[in-house]
Structure 1
Amino acid sequence: MNTQTASSRLLEPFKLGDLVLNNRVVMAPMTRARAGERRIPNALMANYYAQRAGAGLIVTEATVISEQANGWVNTPGIYSDEQGEAWKQVTAAVSETPIFLQLWHCGRASHSSFHANNELPVAPSAIKINGGEIHTPSGKQPYETPRALETDEIPLIVEDYRQAAERAKIAGFDGVEIHGANGYLIDTFLQSKTNQRTDSYGGGVENRYRFLKEIVEAILTVWPANRVGVRLSPNGVYNDMGSPDYRAAFLYIAEQLNAYGLAYLHLMDGLGFGFHELGAPMTLAEFREVFSGPPIGNCGYTQEEAESAISSGVADLIAFGRPFISNPDLVERFARNLPLNPPAEMFTWYSFGAEGYTDFPTYQESQAVS
């Protein structure tokens, strides 16, 4: 097999704040559901991340910040000391690769069966997800109309984020990413479609941004700004999202976030997760104009598209999700111009054990058995 001879910007080292990344390939956060009913990280998860430590930066799967935040079977948590302690085996397994923990609250994309006393999921407003079903501990169920949060409950959730960030630091992570995308709680506060509040957290985009602003500022009491990233999905339709004022709103949000000197802005600019079709898709170049820190592009990039985005200057880093599922040695394959394993089908990778998780062969392993 021919090795790659052309210069690769994607494979160059990159300085992310005070961290030096070996390359510009980010392992994207992907929900993998291997933490068991008690949401405690384990040795299988440590092995999974260690297999993929060739990435320049790893962002973990979304990790819930509280019991209220739960909304996906067997995903990990960071709301107990036991969970925080268990994450140490993951950070130790990838000690040579910077790793950020993604902080998550599912919001309305949850179900009462996840919660004590069958409490309804919470959201900025009592607006349910239209269509589809949710996987719950008792099987597939229709989405429910969430309960609108009371104004005085919101600071309690902000504090949950702060405590989760603190546990992440103790667990040995190099930073945290705030999950503000894909129709989960923060995203539903940001967007006019799902936020119809009349208090100081609703109305214009300035108020809709307030929840994320308070979360960022709370986490900055724990971590320096160059160890905190934020993820947004301005083009996304996942979890029934998409607002008519999306372009003006997300540019405002990015401009506000720019003031903090954050590690990066992680943007799901690709349309592989679906597009709301309310106008032209937002591009990395638009965000580059209002956010001076490193942008991470994400969602459906090929190696060639990633090279182009970095060479043109619209992105500093590119995150890869599903290619990392079936190619634990993805960066080596990029570097040596090796073919990728076929993409894994969802029925293969969406399970709860080692199958479809840690059993994908590296190129070297696949050649040894062929």
Structure 2
Amino acid sequence: MLISKKTGLFTPIRLGSLELPNRIIMSPLTRLRATPDCVPTLLMAEYYTQRATAGLIITEGTHPSLMGRGYTTSPGLHNKEQVAGWRKVTDAVHAAGGRIFVQLMHAGRVTHSSLLPNCARPIAPSAIPVVSEQVRIWDGKVPFETPRPLELDEIPLIVEEYRRSAELSIEAGFDGVELHAATGYLPNQFQVTGSNHRTDAYGGTLENRTRFTLEVVEALCSVRGADRVGVKIAPGFTVNDTFDDDPAETYIYVAKALNPFKLAYLHVGYERGYTRGTAPNFNPIDLLRSVYQGTLLAVGGFDRQQGDEAIRSGRADAIVFGRSFISNPDLVERLRLDVPLTEADLSTFYGGSEFGYTDYPNYLSK
């Protein structure tokens, strides 16, 4: 790929049907500031609006159904109250000149019965629990439970839940949707051999293990159009026990299978700076750059220089920034001015009030 030397983080880019003013993307960041009923709040609207100068905001993981919930006060998108709450967020972001996709994240086995309707057992491709980590519930952290394996006739119903959530994303004012198919959530649980021991049409071969992901992508595209749909994957990372016999082969297959959709983008992590689980012995971004034919978003601890270099060399088309957006609401301007970034307070990442959420100052207002 021949890339102009003038291309970099601040060059506009067309992402599906959207024109972005820069290539600085806000990563999905779990912050747990919704209500106990998983309804987005006005505080969340303020938080996202403060970051509207990003080329694109991708929201925190948002469950598309009651059974998809993975955390205490994470937002959902499966009822009218949640739609109304998200609408306040998207209206505020748009009024500030921003663009925003919702990330749909079904937790699958990465949850706990106390967070699910009628204390139901978590669901998954197979009855294999996460054992290397614990799940945070209302009273603290506890071990993960052994999930209930999905019956074959239940799988189309979950695909339909995703499709319905995509419909609600239009009502809620989102510019598009991203499917979270990474870091151990439900599509990823189907993809990898460690969590999928099925022997039916959704297990065994690469084609079968990828089937669920592609069916969900097709459902999302049927509602939003492929140019308003993105997919996130994280090849080879073992967070939430996503072990695979041959991760390079698996994710090359996934990326190639996504090519015909002509999606808005493929969101690939992680280059560096991700500490949970075990990293692969290959670079996920470079693994898929020559395989995926569309727009590629790269995430993983990039700074300004590294981001510019990745874009100019053609390794990525845009760069996703995570933690630096938490503590720098004006990150785009700070990167443009090449000034120091504010360090984030780890103790305020998950849950709480405006402290460590909307009270980080802009550089020019200090």
Counterpart of 1:350 in structure 2 is 350
Q: In the aligned structure 1, how far is the partner of 2:186 from the partner of 2:148?
A: 12
Supply the AA of the counterpart residue of 2:58: V
1:220 deviates by: 1.5
Equivalent residues of 2:237, 2:280 under 8 A apart = no
Q: Does 1:315 align with 2:316?
A: yes
Q: In the aligned structure 2, how far is the partner of 1:129 from the partner of 1:283?
A: 23
Q: 1:306 to 1:120 in 2, by over 3 A?
A: same
Equivalent residues of 1:191, 1:243 under 8 A apart = yes
Supply the AA of the counterpart residue of 1:70: R
Q: Does 1:13 align with 2:12?
A: yes
Q: In the aligned structure 2, how far is the partner of 1:235 from the partner of 1:303?
A: 25
Q: In the aligned structure 2, how far is the partner of 1:154 from the partner of 1:251?
A: 24
Q: In the aligned structure 1, how far is the partner of 2:105 from the partner of 2:326?
A: 21
Normalised by the size of structure 1, how large is the TM-score?
Answer: 0.94
1:194-213 equivalences in 2 (<5 Å): 194-213=195-214
- Secondary structure of 1:220's aligned partner: helix
Counterpart of 1:24 in structure 2 is 23
1:15 deviates by: 1.1
- Secondary structure of 2:273's aligned partner: coil
Equivalent residues of 1:235, 1:269 under 8 A apart = no
Equivalent residues of 2:7, 2:311 under 8 A apart = no
Supply the AA of the counterpart residue of 1:55: A
Question: Percent identity of the aligned residues?
Answer: 45
- Secondary structure of 2:250's aligned partner: helix
1:277 deviates by: 5.4
Structure 2 residue runs of 5 or longer lacking an equivalent are none
Equivalent residues of 1:242, 1:276 under 8 A apart = no
Q: In the aligned structure 2, how far is the partner of 1:8 from the partner of 1:359?
A: 33
Q: 1:125 to 1:192 in 2, by over 3 A?
A: same
Greater shift after overlay, 281-290 or 73-82? 281-290
Greater shift after overlay, 85-94 or 175-184? 85-94
- Secondary structure of 2:266's aligned partner: strand
Counterpart of 1:363 in structure 2 is 363
Q: Does 1:286 align with 2:287?
A: yes
1:244 deviates by: 2.3
Equivalences, count: 360
Counterpart of 1:124 in structure 2 is 125
Q: In the aligned structure 2, how far is the partner of 1:264 from the partner of 1:204?
A: 26
Q: Deviations over 1:121-164 (max 9, x none)?
A: 11101111113221112322111111111111111100000000
Counterpart of 1:114 in structure 2 is 115
1:286 deviates by: 2.6
1:270 deviates by: 2.1
1:349 deviates by: 2.5
Counterpart of 2:69 in structure 1 is 70
Counterpart of 2:146 in structure 1 is 145
Normalised by the size of structure 2, how large is the TM-score?
Answer: 0.95
- Secondary structure of 2:223's aligned partner: coil
1:271 deviates by: 3.8
Supply the AA of the counterpart residue of 2:123: V
Q: Aligned Cα RMSD in Å?
A: 1.5
1:325-344 equivalences in 2 (<5 Å): 325-342=326-343, 344=344
Q: Deviations over 1:219-265 (max 9, x none)?
A: 11101111000000103121122312100110011001011000000
1:227-242 equivalences in 2 (<5 Å): 227-242=228-243
Q: 1:326 to 1:276 in 2, by over 3 A?
A: closer
Q: In the aligned structure 2, how far is the partner of 1:152 from the partner of 1:138?
A: 35
Equivalent residues of 2:73, 2:351 under 8 A apart = no
Equivalent residues of 2:348, 2:356 under 8 A apart = yes
- Secondary structure of 1:32's aligned partner: coil
Q: In the aligned structure 1, how far is the partner of 2:292 from the partner of 2:346?
A: 35
